[in-house]
């Protein structure tokens, strides 16, 4: 557990360190914003490149602090694993952003490694990883498929995490497939909205079916 906390903290601080070093080499003006078609529509000061690494710091705290209050050791471990995986995702995105800014790309969708394909591949792997962890989660108020119905009792919780885990894995596989066939970030967003709706409906139906009192 201690080693994983050190790993999470290291992954959290690394983008900021690399960002500070990159400031030495970046031009004064860098691509700071891309429009809906992923072409640059605003240039900004090179110090704006530190915004994303600072955001990673706050996201990391979200996964470090709850572990202090969690009673279940398995949940603490799984929450830390999820945090590490998510911070790895944001590390990859941050380094891609630095690469884009350093090379002054006018479009993020030029060539095979366009931004939509990269995002689909990264989040596809993340969804598959999370999906495999979900069935192991014990009932808690921080991670997992949490609705007012899935929190009803342990039976409902377990069934919802199993269902949610499968839906996340399927989502990841679909993201991988679309990344190579038809990379489109809006398809992933639509997929996640659909999965959230289906998972929520499943938690409601399951809670009604297993409407038992806590022992």
User: For 128-137, what is each residue's pLDDT tens digit?
Assistant: 999 999 999 9
Our separate counts of H helices and E strands in the chain read: 7, 2
Tokens 């992954």 — which residue?
A: 11
Which pair of structure tokens corresponds to residue 13?
């601080």
**Residue 215: predicted pLDDT:** 40
- For the chain, residues with pLDDT lower than 50 are 214-215
Helix ranges (DSSP H) in 73-153: 73-103, 115-133
- Residue 8: exposed, middle, or buried by beta-carbon count in 10 A (0-12, 13-18, 19+)? buried
Name the residue among 92, 177, 67 with its Cα closest to residue 128.
177
- Predicted TM-score (pTM) of the model is 0.79
**Residue 80: predicted pLDDT:** 83
User: Kindly report the CA angle at 94 between 93 and 96, in degrees rounded to 5?
Assistant: 65
**Residue 68: predicted pLDDT:** 60
């Amino acid at each position: 557990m201690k080693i994983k906390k050190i790993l999470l903290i290291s992954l959290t601080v690394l983008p900021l360190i690399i960002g500070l070093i990159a400031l030495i080499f970046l031009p004064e003006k860098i691509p700071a914003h891309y429009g809906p078609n992923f072409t640059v529509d605003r240039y900004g000061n090179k110090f704006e490149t530190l915004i994303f690494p600072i955001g990673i710091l706050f996201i990391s705290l979200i996964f470090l602090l709850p572990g202090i209050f969690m009673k279940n050791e398995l949940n603490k471990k799984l929450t830390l694993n999820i945090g590490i995986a998510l911070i790895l995702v944001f590390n990859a995105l941050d380094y891609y952003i630095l690469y884009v800014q350093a090379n002054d790309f006018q479009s993020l969708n030029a060539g095979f490694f366009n931004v939509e394909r990269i995002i689909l591949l990264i989040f596809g792997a993340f969804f598959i990883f999370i999906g495999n962890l979900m069935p192991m989660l014990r009932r808690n108020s921080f991670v997992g498929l949490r609705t007012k119905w899935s929190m009803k009792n342990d039976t409902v919780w377990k069934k919802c995490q199993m269902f949610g885990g499968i839906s996340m894995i399927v989502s990841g596989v679909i993201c991988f497939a679309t990344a190579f066939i038809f990379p489109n970030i809006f398809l992933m967003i639509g997929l996640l909205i659909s999965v959230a709706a289906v998972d929520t409906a499943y938690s409601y139906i399951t809670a009604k079916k297993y409407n038992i009192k806590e022992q």
